[in-house]
Amino acid sequence: MPESTHRWIIDVIEENAVAIEVDGKNVLTMPRWLLPDGARQGDVLRVRHDRPPNGQRSALTIEVDAAATQKALADSAIQVQKGVKRPNDPGGDITL
């Protein structure tokens, strides 16, 4: 596999570690220093993995995808609006 691209989403940032959702499937914990400067919780990252044919090295390019981050935030806002209380809803954890 010479080159592949991936979508990472920063789930949680702690002092020295981050939790990253990888391609919408797995969540990995990795060192915070791997993130680009200024990366924040909720950012979508575009990740390119390059492995030359000789297989002697593997390189990642990680960059914040501002357009994908804005789209993800907008999609999230829509989901929140769908959850807004209806006038006849008595409250509680379950809506029937």
pLDDT tens readout for residues 31-59: 999 999 999 999 999 999 998 888 788 99
Strand partners of residue 58: none
- Express as a percent the part of the chain with pLDDT over 70: 84
Length of the chain: 96
Assess if residue 95 is contained within a domain: no
Name the E strands within the chain.
3-13, 17-22, 26-31, 44-50, 59-64
**Please, which residues have CB within 8 angstroms of residue 13's CB and are 6 or more apart in sequence?**
32, 35, 40, 41
Task: Write down the pTM of the prediction.
Answer: 0.75
Q: Which domain, by its residues, includes 23?
A: 3-82
**Please, which residues have CB within 8 angstroms of residue 4's CB and are 6 or more apart in sequence?**
48, 49
Average pLDDT, the chain: 87
- Kindly report the CATH number assigned to the domain that includes residue 7: 2.40.50.140
Assess if residue 33 is contained within a domain: yes
Assess if residue 44 is contained within a domain: yes
User: What does the block give as tokens for 89?
Assistant: 């809803």
